[in-house]
Amino acid sequence: MPRAKAAREGDGNRVPEPEGTAAERVPTLKDLARQLGIHPSTVSRVLHSDPESARGAASDATARRIRELAAELGYSPDPQASGLRTRRTRLLGVVVPRLSDLVLAVMYEGVEAEAATIGYSSFVTNSRDDVDEQRRKVELMLARRVDGLIIGDRHLDVDVVLTDLRRRAVPFVLMNRRHPEIPSATCDDTRGGELVAEHLWDKGHRDVCVIAGEPYATTGVDRTAGFVQRWRELGGEIGDGDIVLSRFDTQGGREAAEKILVSGRRPSALFAVNDFAAIGAMGALRSHGLTVGRDCAVVGFNDTSLAAELPIPLSSVRSPMFEIGQAAVRLLRAVMRGEPAESARLTPTLQVRESSI
C-alpha cells in the first residue's frame, strides 16, 4: 500500500515543520484527489480546464465537485511543481538601471500590471547602468529560470549581454532604450525631440542648448538627434558646443547647466532630455540670477508627475511610460511564442507650461 508506506515514511525522510506552528499545510492536488476518491490526474485536468484537455476528463458532476472542494480548501497549484514539470516558471525578469528613477519605476508598474493580466509574475533588478552588473543580474534571473527578460538598460556599443542572450536562445526584448535589430518598446524619442525643436522655434528662440543625457542611452541620443535635425531643418543653428552630456538625474542636470552658464553663454532656451535634469537646470539658472520662463525657457522630457506641479511648471514631452511597460510585456510574449514581434515606438506629445511660454 503506497499510502501506508508514505505515512511511515513521514517520520524519516521529511523536512521538519517549523516547530510550534500547527503545520497548516496548503492542500495539494493529491489531497483533493484523496478526499474525493479520485485520481490526481483527473483533478489536474479539471482544474486546468483549457477545453483541450478538460474535454472528457471528468463528468460534469465530478468536475463540479472538484472545483467546489478546491475553492473550499483554497487550493492553489504549487508553481514549483508545475514549473518543474512544464519547464515554465511564468516569471518575467526585468533589468533596469535603477528603480529610483521615476521613469523606470512607472514603466515597471506597466510591466507588472500587464504581466499580471496574462498570469505572469515579474521581478525586477537594478543594474545601476553598469555593464558588469547588468551581466550579473541577467545571470541571476536566468538562474531563476525566468521565461523571458525585459532589458531596460541597453548600452550603446556594448552588446555582449544581448549577443549572449541570443546565443542562448533566451526570449527577451528591450524597454525604454532601443536597438535597431531587437524588438523594443520605447517612446518615439526622435519625434519627441522634434516636438521640442518646433515648439521653441515657434516661440522665437534662436539660441538654444541641449542637456543631452548619457551617451550610451538611446533615449537621450535620439531625443537630441531629433531636436537637432528638426532645428536645422527649420533654419536654426546649433553646434557641438551647444550640446552637453549629463547624467539623467537632478544633480546631473544642474552640473550640465552650470557648465553652460559658467562659460558665460546665455542661451534663450534649454532642452533637457529628462525632467529631473531639467529641474536641476532650473536650479542652476536661478543660481545665476536668471528666471526660468522669462530669461530662459526650459523644456524637459517624460512629463513626470512633478513637472506640472513645480513652482514654475515645467514644459515637458509626455512619454507614455506606463504603456511602454505594457507594450514591452506584449512584445515579449510574442517573442516567447515565436511570433513576429514588431518594435513599439509610442507617440509622445508636448505639454507646454510656464517654463517655456
**Position of cell 528613477?**
101
Among DNA, a second copy, none, residue 54 binds (CB under 5-8 Å by kind) = none
Strands 315-318, 184-187: pairing kind: unpaired
**Is 89 near DNA (CB under 7 A)?**
no
Among DNA, a second copy, none, residue 215 binds (CB under 5-8 Å by kind) = a second copy
Stretch that binds a second copy, among 38-46, 49-57, 60-68, 138-146 (CB under 8 A): 138-146
Stretch that binds a second copy, among 65-73, 114-122, 231-239, 326-334 (CB under 8 A): 114-122
Report d(CA 35, CA 66) in Å as an integer.
Answer: 10
Report d(CA 32, CA 53) in Å as an integer.
Answer: 19
- Kindly tell me which of 145 and 265 has the beta carbon lying closer to DNA: 145
Interacting positions 44-73 with a second copy (CB under 8 A): none
- Kindly tell me which of 45 and 205 has the beta carbon lying closer to DNA: 45
The DSSP-derived string for 59-73 is -HHHHHHHHHHHHHH
Cell, residue 72? 473550499
Q: Which residue type is seen at 112?
A: E
- The conformation of residue 234, written as its DSSP 8-state character, comes to T
Among DNA, a second copy, none, residue 290 binds (CB under 5-8 Å by kind) = none
**Is 77 near DNA (CB under 7 A)?**
yes
Contact 209, 260 (CB under 8 A): yes
**Is 180 near a second copy (CB under 8 A)?**
yes
**Position of cell 513645480?**
310
Interacting positions 210-239 with a second copy (CB under 8 A): 215-216, 218, 221, 225
Q: Where are the alpha helices (DSSP H) in 129-244?
A: 131-143, 160-167, 189-202, 218-233
**Is 49 near DNA (CB under 7 A)?**
no
- 315: enclosing H helix or E strand: strand 315-318
- Kindly tell me which of 119 and 338 has the beta carbon lying closer to DNA: 119
Among a second copy, DNA, none, residue 263 binds (CB under 5-8 Å by kind) = none
**Is 292 near a second copy (CB under 8 A)?**
yes
Contact 342, 298 (CB under 8 A): no
Report d(CA 58, CA 66) in Å as an integer.
Answer: 10
**Is 356 near a second copy (CB under 8 A)?**
no
Number of residues that bind a second copy (CB under 8 A): 94
- Kindly tell me which of 36 and 102 has the beta carbon lying closer to DNA: 36
Among 43, 45, 70, 126, binds a second copy (CB under 8 A): 126
- Kindly tell me which of 179 and 330 has the beta carbon lying closer to a second copy: 179
Q: Using alpha carbons, select from 159, 163, 152, 162 the residue that is nearest to residue 248.
A: 152
Report d(CA 247, CA 118) in Å as an integer.
Answer: 36
**Is 289 near a second copy (CB under 8 A)?**
no
Tell the smallest beta-carbon distance from residue 37 to a second copy (Å).
Answer: 26
- Kindly tell me which of 202 and 233 has the beta carbon lying closer to a second copy: 233
The DSSP-derived string for 248-266 is SSHHHHHHHHHHHHHTT--
Tell the smallest beta-carbon distance from residue 34 to DNA (Å).
Answer: 10
Strands of the sheet containing 91-96, edge to edge, are 121-126, 91-96, 148-151, 172-175, 184-187, 344-346
In the stretch 303-332, what mask flags binding to a second copy with x, by CB under 8 A? --xx-xxxxxx-------------------
- Kindly tell me which of 73 and 243 has the beta carbon lying closer to DNA: 73
Residues 320-331: b if buried by 16+ CB within 10 A, e if exposed: bbbbbbbbbbbb
Contact 259, 266 (CB under 8 A): no
Among a second copy, DNA, none, residue 292 binds (CB under 5-8 Å by kind) = a second copy
- Kindly tell me which of 21 and 263 has the beta carbon lying closer to a second copy: 21
- Coil, strand, or helix at residue 269? strand
Binding interface with DNA (CB under 7 A): 2, 5-6, 9, 12-13, 15, 25, 28-30, 37-42, 44-45, 47-48, 53, 56-62, 75, 77-78, 81-82, 84-87
